[in-house]
Chain A
Amino acid sequence: MLKRVHFPPSVLPYLLVAPQVAITIVFFIWPASQALYQSLLLEDAFGLSTKFVWFENFTALFSDDQYLDAFKRTFVFSLSVAVVSMSAALLLAVMADRVIKGTTAYRTLLIWPYAVAPAVAGALWMFLFDPTLGIVAYVFDMLGYTSWNFRLNGNEAMVLVVLAAAWKQISYNFLFFLAGMQAIPKSLIEAAAIDGAGPGRRFWTIVFPLLSPTTFFLLVINMVYAFFETFGIIHAVTKGGPAKATEILVFKVYNDGFVGLDLGSSAAQSVILMAIVIGLTVIQFRYIERKVEY
């Protein structure tokens, strides 16, 4: 138990936290409360008449098949992004952990993709895979897979945005996995080697279980990333198409609100998203403390 320390009352601490509180109020609490309020309104597309409708926007959403589809799609999308990007990052981290020469250069290079803006990353992957211009599409052609066209095929579009989104997150995951691996005492690995475990077995029975707190943390972070921060990628690559095949929840908020001008429903959707992210954060804080001790 920490002992409570008492200080004489003073205005100073309040002044010191004031900027932080002001920022939180202006950029988080206020817009969030506006969204909450707006989600209870029904407004016509021109903003001429507004009606207070209580939870009608929410009930409409949950009886809307398109919205429920978007929910499922988002779930598939985020899970795929998390799995693809974490597996790739783990593989790279295992490799980087073994590199002896040029370690710093190697690691620095692996971190670069994180500095690329989502929209730029999206544009990059779009051009690579463009059915008429893309070099990857050209290679597909040569390999006999001529029908590649993510602008027409929904599954291909999904694969492409998952790849683009996962690629950008690999660096971040890589850093955490590498740090996690380096925190595992070397003598544990040596003990396992003496016990007769080969490199593969050592990884799956010793390293991977000891990384589980990191893995869990990254899973939550990646889910949140895929839910909210992939808007730029999707906007640049597919705009949610074809036929809504890549329209995830965040994109639908934008589409319904700023393209369809159904502000009430859009606000209600963002409130639901807010609830999801709060839920994920709570899970993270509840379970992330269960760390393994060495």
Chain B
Amino acid sequence: MAQVEIKGVEKVYPNGFKAIHGVDIDIAEGEFVVLVGPSGCGKSTLLRMVAGLERVTAGTIRIGERVVNDLEPAQRDIAMVFQNYALYPHMSVFNNMAYGLKIRGMSKAEIADRVQKAAEILELSSEQLTRRPNQLSGGQRQRVAMGRAIVREPSVFLFDEPLSNLDAKLRVQMRVEIKKLQERLGITSIYVTHDQVEAMTLGHRLMVLNEGNVEQLGTPIELYEKPASQFVAGFIGSPSMNFMDARIGAGGDTVELPGGVSLPLDGAGGREPGRAVVLGIRPEHLEATTGSDVASLRVDLVELLGADTLIHGHFGDDKADMTVRLQGTSTLRPGDLYPCAVDPAHLHLFDPDSGRRI
């Protein structure tokens, strides 16, 4: 086990493309950090730099006490689970797991012991240990890939989108298993995914990356409740946050929507009246109300999901499509009016130019 410290790390590819624009993070011992972002945001590159598969252009990466910038992957005491599992196709499952141990010159008895233990943790039968990877199902291969990482007892686990090749049901199941496993073993982990649900459920902390920049670093709840930018706000949460162009009201304590609707803001002042803003409201925060000072949403489409209902609609003349999430089933039909209100604490304001939170 070890802490990982990434300081001012940048990556420029030989063709001049800058993939990472300076990342800083201290990962505590036993912490589970998820790097999340859309494809091409640099999250895999960052992970591969920690693994030693990509050179670091600038900055330092420290694992435990050592700066590992110039160390070979083998010397970094890490284990990695790849997206396509990268199991050695010509070796049995047992040998796949034992490969790294054999290279370290461990005794046969100890290798057998460790592989056996890992197999038990991952519920792989001894019959499965004799099989070749191509005789296993996707989920089993995934377990073997995890097993190969576990037997090494590394200081850091690296996961590169390990669940993206699995079907939806298996993905949820393996997600839970990874979470349990990490808690049980307490090994510092860095996990890369583009799936925000995976990120929210797995990570102690999340780092949202966008085009090589860190958008925000924080706990899942911080990211959900106080997104630092419009990008993070739109990325975290499902269905994603509603955005609309709005303006601060004359008193500085309301926000006015183009349709003439005005919503009260939280106490904090300092908002210049008339300033253009982007207003963000999460679908689950547009609550039904019977009060007088309400905005009415014209319903365009209703999606019944069973446990909850999604309503798509728009405010007055405003074209922006809004999504509302209601508990249980709803009797609303297209064309109906849905009167709703938002707790001022759940309004998010962003600068239209920089996208940062106001």
Contacts and interface: CB of A to CB of B under 8 A. Distances in A.
Interface of A: 185, 187-188, 190-198, 201, 205-206, 209-210, 212, 292-294
Given A190-B51, A194-B51, 8 more contacts: A187-B82, A191-B82, A191-B148, A192-B88, A193-B73, A196-B74, A201-B103, A293-B89
A185 B84 contact: yes
Contact of A190 (B86, B89, B148, B152): B86
A187 B89 CA distance: 12
B78 interface: yes
A192 B99 contact: yes
A190 B99 contact: no
Contacts of A210: 89-90
Contacts of B100: 194-196
B82 A190 contact: yes
Contacts of B134: 293
A193 B74 contact: yes
Contact of B89 (A193, A197, A205, A292): A292
Interface string B92-103: 000000011001
10 contacts: A185-B84, A188-B88, A190-B80, A191-B88, A193-B73, A194-B100, A195-B99, A195-B152, A196-B103, A197-B74
B59 to A, nearest CB: 21
A43 B86 CA distance: 65
Contacts, number: 63
A187 B80 CA distance: 10
Contacts of A206: 88
Nearest to B97: A195
- Chain B, interface residues (CB within 8 Å), range: 20 to 34
A95 to B, nearest CB: 20
- Interface residues of B, dominant DSSP: loop
Contacts of B88: 188, 191-192, 206
Interface of B: 51-53, 72-74, 78-80, 82-84, 86-90, 99-100, 103-104, 134, 148, 152
Contacts of B90: 209-210, 212, 292
Contact of A187 (B78, B79, B86): B86
A190 B79 CA distance: 11
A292 B134 CA distance: 9
B89 A195 contact: no
Contacts of B80: 190-191, 194
Given A188-B86, A294-B89, A197 B103 contact: yes
A212 B78 CA distance: 30
Contacts of A193: 52-53, 72-74
A294 B89 CA distance: 6
Contacts of B89: 188, 210, 292-294
Nearest to B51: A194
Contacts of A192: 88, 99
A54 B216 CA distance: 90
Nearest to A190: B53
Given A194-B79, A292-B90, A187 B84 contact: yes
Contacts of A212: 90
Contacts of A293: 89, 134
Given A185-B86, A187-B84, A293-B89, A194 B74 contact: yes
Contacts of A190: 51, 53, 73, 80, 82, 86
A188 B96 CA distance: 11
A160 to B, nearest CB: 38
A125 to B, nearest CB: 38
A85 B52 CA distance: 36
A194 B134 CA distance: 22
A208 to B, nearest CB: 10
A-B pairs with lowest CB-CB distance, top 5? A195-B100, A187-B86, A196-B74, A191-B86, A196-B103
Contacts of B104: 196
Contacts of A196: 74, 100, 103-104
A290 B351 CA distance: 62
A196 B79 CA distance: 10
Contacts of B86: 185, 187-188, 190-191
Nearest to A198: B74
A142 B51 CA distance: 53
Contact of B103 (A187, A188, A191, A195): A195
A146 B177 CA distance: 74
A194 B78 contact: yes
Nearest to B72: A193
